[in-house]
Amino acid sequence: MMKENAQILVVDDEPTVCLALVNWLKEENYFAMAVEDGPKAIAAVREGNWDIVLLDLKMPGMDGLEALREIKKIAPQTIVILMTAYASVASAVQAMREGSHDYIVKPLDVEELTLMLNKIVEHQQLVTENILLRQRLSEYNEFEDIIGRSPPMQEVFELIETVADSNATVLITGETGTGKELIARAIHTRSSRRYNPFIAVSCGALPETLLESELFGHEKGAFTGAHRTKKGRFEMAHGGTLFLDEIGDISLKTQVKLLRVLQEKNFHRLGGTAQVDVDVRLIAATNRNLTDAVEEGIFRSDLYYRLNVVSVHMPPLRDRREDIPLLAAHFINKYNLECNKRFDRVEEKAMETMMGYHWPGNVRELENVIERAIVIDQGPEVKVKHLPFCSVDMPAVDEPQVLEEVEKLHIQKMLERHGWNIARTARLLNIDRTTLHKKIKKFALKRQ
């Protein structure tokens, strides 16, 4: 509660006292109004939102104590201060028992009353800030860095809570940049395995031979360059959770080995003969449609069903636009701390643009946009000029559009914009260079 926003109601049957108090409170930048008896005070409290009531103890009809009891029933959070020209220990004790914040004696000491009101306002301001801070922390920390209040995200949060403490294999689906690894980590940290390792492997970033070694380890001399025995990620995740991202990119040969581990709970290191037993919960993620991959014969159906015991789908950002302001605020706070900047908002036109953009890179792209704005500028607000996609001729959101066409156009524009610098463009698109090369090949993109 800021001082200029604090509302004070004066209740006294003496018009001169009311007039003097209201004028003085207004001079002190408070909003003030006066009524002359208890019933009118109670009516005013019912109709308004008064922060402080200065209430005379002795009034004709309803006295101050009776009015105090009624006011506290209607608005228990309102601060009531009783005033009297007939002070006594008994009335003071009774006033405090009935819930009066303080008890002051007429004629009023203006300096003393000023000090008291200022302290009340400062305290209430701290209480309000504390409540807001707790609300924000609750919003942000309920699922660590997974931010969202939209209905699709609420469904995801409920599913995480439901499946976390089981050992069921989970398949997380969703487009690139939607935060699938965050979901996997959230499931792990809410499970009984949370004190054991969480190991993440990006299957698509590793060639097949290296992926096998990474997952299952190898014995010394198993292949050229294997100078020592090395544990694989399955062993490293023993007792905990192994997260396999881009599971749809692994070869049929590796799929067979993976299926065996899931069924038998053991495996052999490359070049080894000893059986290695493991207790690992597997969570996999993919941006591919594995049902189609199964029909195409490039993904085993038995492995698919084994992985898909529980499925969690991460909605694309364009399907939960109401989360964009909250996500933007979260990333502003994050990069303010990292970059020692003081950004505090997104300008209205920039927010309109962000709400209308289709976000092919999803939350990761939004994070990059905010990070870039904070790195290159001094703030205090993210503006349209900070949005790299504003100069890209993208189709309007409401126009009919095929996702792949939008993705192709966006990648082409980003490549041209950055002189076909693959590393830079991949970083801005929040994908790795291998993925960008695949997309360039897939869309047959060329310099223009």
**So what's the pLDDT on residue 136?**
56
234 with 280: CB under 8 angstroms?
yes
Q: Which ranges of 62-195 does DSSP label H, i.e. alpha helix?
A: 64-74, 89-97, 110-141, 151-163, 180-189
Q: Encoding tokens for residue 363? A: 């939350």
**So what's the pLDDT on residue 10?**
94
**So what's the pLDDT on residue 392?**
47
Tens of pLDDT, residues 396-416: 444 445 677 778 888 888 887
What does the alpha-carbon distance between residue 404 and residue 395 come to, in Å, rounded to a whole number? 13
- Higher pLDDT: 447 or 347? It is 347
342: nearest Cα among 379, 376, 375, 387: 379
For the cut 80, the answer to whether the pLDDT of residue 352 exceeds it is yes
The helix (run of H) or strand (run of E) holding residue 45 is helix 38-47
Percent of the chain with pLDDT over 70: 92
Tens of pLDDT, residues 150-161: 999 999 999 998
Average pLDDT of span 7-36: 91
Evaluate the omega torsion of the peptide bond into residue 60 and state whether it is cis, within 30 degrees of 0.
Answer: no
**So what's the pLDDT on residue 398?**
46
**So what's the pLDDT on residue 305?**
93
First to last CA, the chain: 58
**So what's the pLDDT on residue 135?**
55
**So what's the pLDDT on residue 89?**
80
Residue 259 CB: number of other CB atoms within 10 A? 16
**So what's the pLDDT on residue 395?**
47
Q: Encoding tokens for residue 89? A: 């220990």
For the cut 60, the answer to whether the pLDDT of residue 107 exceeds it is yes
Tens of pLDDT, residues 165-201: 888 999 999 998 899 999 999 999 889 998 889 999 9
Average pLDDT of span 111-121: 88
For the cut 90, the answer to whether the pLDDT of residue 147 exceeds it is no
Query: The pTM is what?
Result: 0.57
Average pLDDT of span 415-426: 78
Average pLDDT of span 56-81: 90
Tens of pLDDT, residues 221-279: 877 777 788 888 999 999 999 999 999 888 898 999 999 999 999 988 888 888 889 99
